[in-house]
């Protein structure tokens, strides 16, 4: 049996950085990863997909160059092999960077293999037994595959496998109208494929307010994407030319099907029962405000704890654990203000409450909206789709939430994120003097138009 001061299972966006901090403190740490360092973000999530999004945007801009007085002769051609290779290069650079970083750390032992608990202090991997007083789980999540008729009879894609495509689908059917599905739908439409989105619910991006969901649908439809919401009785069958996707109201002749119906935690094969670690009905590991599980000496970080499904929340889990365990702090997950982005084009930046949540809270609220068509920078760039929206507490004058669907919305939202985290009132932020011409310069104007509801 090999002894360590800590064992980290899973090398996503929390565990490796926590392991590095512990090594800096002179601890002996084992980092166990069953596949690739970097987790979903580096290998099958943010980095490759946003690289693909960038290629798709380049195609879109080139295709619409004449609007800006830039005339290109002939059709825009997409070389999917180059597109794929570029995304793989970005991934490999990041992964190899982690490999080199860890190789230079005395006290760090990286083990590739499938770890399982033998008991609350013991883990087995590759036929060896490891023990440590502290064990951290950062095992991430994977795509959910729904039990739909005919799904096992077709060769479907997931968000993991689609990034390896090196040819353009004739017609991509996306099953699921949430964030992952929407990004791939627009991306492949811009590459030149026909695209259909099939969503069981009544609207796209169901977490968002209805006006945001409607605006997202308008953006996608304007680019020629076919959208089917409220779809039921979804079924699949092989056809002579590909795959038939049937619903209660539509029949789609697709060449490829992407299943984008959510994700589930990678917790079902870790031997958690042997350690006594409790999970909820969905398989997420139950943690307290400090990310500790019900078992003393075991913590769960990142997607597997159900307290966030983003790279930045996973990294913040590392920050919380490191601050509490290594720096004598008392940071809490519940203090985190949730923010995220949807990387369609234009992007959606979101923070805090939706309007629906704010109304349901019983607070007296104020709301302001402004179309991007009234933003000078958006007009100059010729990208006026979308709108800004902010919700505030009428009594405390604090900002409760905001949504910016529009050009650079994923960046502009950070001014509001920072204000919310600092506890700044909207009145104080309203007196800032932003740079002109920017999209962010409209935030004070947006705040000045807040009206009670």
Kindly list the distances between the CA atom of residue 437 and the CA atoms of 375, 399, 443, 449, in Å, as whole numbers in the listed order: 9, 24, 12, 20
12 close to 140: Cβ distance less than 8 angstroms: yes
Give yes or no for residue 38 having a pLDDT over 90.
yes
Kindly list the distances between the CA atom of residue 146 and the CA atoms of 2, 180, 229, 234, in Å, as whole numbers in the listed order: 41, 16, 17, 10
Q: How far apart are CA 23 and CA 6, in angstroms?
A: 10
Closest CA to 16 of 131, 112, 110: 110
Tracing tokens 């599980």 back to the chain, one arrives at 293
pLDDT at 145: 97
For 70, other C-beta atoms within 10 Å of its C-beta total 10
Q: Is 209 exposed, middle or buried (0-12, 13-18, 19+ CB in 10 A)?
A: buried
Active site residues: 436
84: confidence class by pLDDT, cuts 50, 70, 90: very high
Cite the annotated binding site for FAD by residue number. 50, 303
pLDDT at 199: 98
Q: How far apart are CA 244 and CA 222, in angstroms?
A: 25
For the domain with range 151-261, which CATH number is right: 3.40.50.720, 3.50.50.60, 3.40.50.10800, 3.40.710.10? 3.50.50.60
Sequence-distant (6+) residues with CB within 8 A of 70 are: none
Cα of 386 vs its chain's centroid, Å? 21
Beta strand pairing call for 399-405 and 387-393: antiparallel
pLDDT at 375: 97
Give yes or no for residue 74 having a pLDDT over 90.
no
pLDDT at 26: 97
Reading across the β-sheet that carries 365-371, which strands appear in turn? 339-342, 348-352, 399-405, 387-393, 365-371, 451-452
Cite the annotated binding site for NAD(+) by residue number. 176-183, 199, 262
Instruction: Give tens-digit pLDDT for 130-187.
Output: 999 999 999 999 999 999 999 999 999 999 999 999 999 999 999 999 999 999 999 9
Question: What would the DSSP string read from start to end of 228-286?
Answer: E-S--S-EEEE-SSSEEEE-SS-EEEESEEEE-S-EEES-TTS-HHHHT--B-TTSPBP
pLDDT at 77: 94
111: confidence class by pLDDT, cuts 50, 70, 90: very high
227: confidence class by pLDDT, cuts 50, 70, 90: very high
- Superfamily of domain covering 339-452: FAD/NAD-linked reductase, C-terminal dimerisation domain (3.30.390.30)
Q: Do domains 151-261 and 339-452 have the same CATH topology?
A: no
Cite the annotated binding site by residue number. 50, 176-183, 199, 262, 303
37 close to 11: Cβ distance less than 8 angstroms: yes
Say what percent of the chain tops pLDDT 70. Answer: 100
pLDDT at 133: 98
Instruction: Give tens-digit pLDDT for 323-371.
Output: 999 999 999 999 999 999 999 999 999 999 999 999 999 999 999 999 9
In this structure, CATH architecture of domain 2-142+264-335:
3-Layer(bba) Sandwich (3.50)
Q: How far apart are CA 146 and CA 127, in angstroms?
A: 34
| Structure tokens, 379 | 């007009």
Q: Can you tell me the mean pLDDT for 263-276? A: 98
Give yes or no for residue 424 having a pLDDT over 90.
yes
pLDDT at 297: 98
Range list of H helices, 253-406 = 272-275, 311-326, 355-360, 376-381
Specify the pTM. 0.96
Q: How far apart are CA 61 and CA 170, in angstroms?
A: 21
| Structure tokens, 135 | 């064990």
pLDDT at 228: 98
Tell me 154's DSSP state: S
Give helix 46-63 / helix 179-191 axis angle, nearest 10°.
40
75: confidence class by pLDDT, cuts 50, 70, 90: confident
231 close to 242: Cβ distance less than 8 angstroms: no
| Domain chopping of the chain, boundaries | 2-142+264-335, 151-261, 339-452
Q: How far apart are CA 206 and CA 397, in angstroms?
A: 28
Q: How far apart are CA 320 and CA 330, in angstroms?
A: 8
Q: Can you tell me the mean pLDDT for 285-313? A: 97
Q: Is 294 exposed, middle or buried (0-12, 13-18, 19+ CB in 10 A)?
A: middle
Q: How far apart are CA 201 and CA 178, in angstroms?
A: 10
Report the 3 state secondary structure along 33-64. Answer: ECCCCCHHHHHCCHHHHHHHHHHHHHHHHHHC
Q: Is 61 exposed, middle or buried (0-12, 13-18, 19+ CB in 10 A)?
A: middle
């Amino acid at each position: 049996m090999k002894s360590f001061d800590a064992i980290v299972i899973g090398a996503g966006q929390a565990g490796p950085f926590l392991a590095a901090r512990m090594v800096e403190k002179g601890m002996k740490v084992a980092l166990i990863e069953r596949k690739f360092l970097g987790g979903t973000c580096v290998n099958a999530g943010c980095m490759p997909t946003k690289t693909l999004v960038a290629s798709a945007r380049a195609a879109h801009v080139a295709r619409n160059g004449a609007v800006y007085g830039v005339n290109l002769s002939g059709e825009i051609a997409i070389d999917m092999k180059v597109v794929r290779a570029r995304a793989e290069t970005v991934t490999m650079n990041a992964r190899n960077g982690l490999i080199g970083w860890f190789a230079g750390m005395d006290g760090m032992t990286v083990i590739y293999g499938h770890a399982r608990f033998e008991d609350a202090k013991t883990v087995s991997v590759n036929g060896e037994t490891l023990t440590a007083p502290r064990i951290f789980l950062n095992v991430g999540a994977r795509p959910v595959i729904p039990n739909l008729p005919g799904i096992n009879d077709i060769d479907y894609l997931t968000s993991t496998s689609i990034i390896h495509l090196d040819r353009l689908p004739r017609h991509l059917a996306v099953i699921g109208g949430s964030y992952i599905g929407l990004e791939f739908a627009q991306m492949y439409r811009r590459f030149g494929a026909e695209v259909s989105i099939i969503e069981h619910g009544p609207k796209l991006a169901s977490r968002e307010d209805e006006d945001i969901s409607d605006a997202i649908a308008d953006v996608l439809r304007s680019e020629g994407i076919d959208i089917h919401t409220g779809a039921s009785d979804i079924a699949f069958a092989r056809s002579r030319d590909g795959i038939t996707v049937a619903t209660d109201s539509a029949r789609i002749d697709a060449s490829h099907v992407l299943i984008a119906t959510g994700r589930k935690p990678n917790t079902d094969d870790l031997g958690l029962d042997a350690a006594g670690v409790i999970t909820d009905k969905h398989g997420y590991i139950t943690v307290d405000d400090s990310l500790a599980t019900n078992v003393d000496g075991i913590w769960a970080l990142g997607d597997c704890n159900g307290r966030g499904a983003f790279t930045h929340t996973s990294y913040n889990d590392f920050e919380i654990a490191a601050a509490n365990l290594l720096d004598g702090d008392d940071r809490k997950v519940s203090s985190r203000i949730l923010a995220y982005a949807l990387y369609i084009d234009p992007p959606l930046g979101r923070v805090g409450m939706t309007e629906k949540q704010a109304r349901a809270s019983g607070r007296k609220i104020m709301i302001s909206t402004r179309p991007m068509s009234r933003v000078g920078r958006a007009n100059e760039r010729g990208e006026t789709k979308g709108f800004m929206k902010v919700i505030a507490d009428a009594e405390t004058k604090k900002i409760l939430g905001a949504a910016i669907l529009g050009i650079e919305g994923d960046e502009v939202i950070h001014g509001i994120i920072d204000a919310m985290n600092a506890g700044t009132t909207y009145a104080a932020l309203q007196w800032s003097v932003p740079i002109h011409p920017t999209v962010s310069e409209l935030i004070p104007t947006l705040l000045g138009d807040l009206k009670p509801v």
